[in-house]
Amino acid sequence: KQEVTQIPAALSVPEGENLVLNCSFTDSAIYNLQWFRQDPGKGLTSLLLIQSSQREQTSGRLNASLDKSSGRSTLYIAASQPGDSATYLCAVIPGYGGATNKLIFGTGTLLAVQP
């Protein structure tokens, strides 16, 4: 059974700092991995999607990497801003053929960027 874990559960950093959020999964057989952001009282916003054949994806100040063999992904946020404060979740679609569409979510990292 695929399990997704995120460390740390909470993180507080001063504005301007670069930071890394970690995600690990127990079964390397994944179709893709996705990073989401959730603001309080809101739904999830997709940030980056990495297909199983890819090693990384970048969007603005965000960079996500994927190492399937070790079951790990990282989300790197450069020059953090108070507006980056939110809960960050990673999720995987398990399997090889992508037939399930079933996202398995981690428990999230609550990020606070202090001005």
Interface pick for other proteins out of 12, 26, 46, 58 (rule CB under 8 A): 46
**Separation between Cα atoms, residue 37 and residue 58, nearest integer Å:** 15
**Separation between Cα atoms, residue 41 and residue 52, nearest integer Å:** 31
- Looking at the Cβ atoms of 45 and 81, the one nearer to other proteins is 45
Judged by CB under 8 A, the stretch of 7-15, 65-73, 76-84, 93-101 that binds other proteins is 93-101
**Separation between Cα atoms, residue 66 and residue 114, nearest integer Å:** 28
Which residues on adjacent β-strands are paired with residue 112?
Answer: 12
Residue 32 within binding range of other proteins, rule CB under 8 A: yes
Residue 98 within binding range of other proteins, rule CB under 8 A: yes
Least Å distance, CB 81 to other proteins, is 22
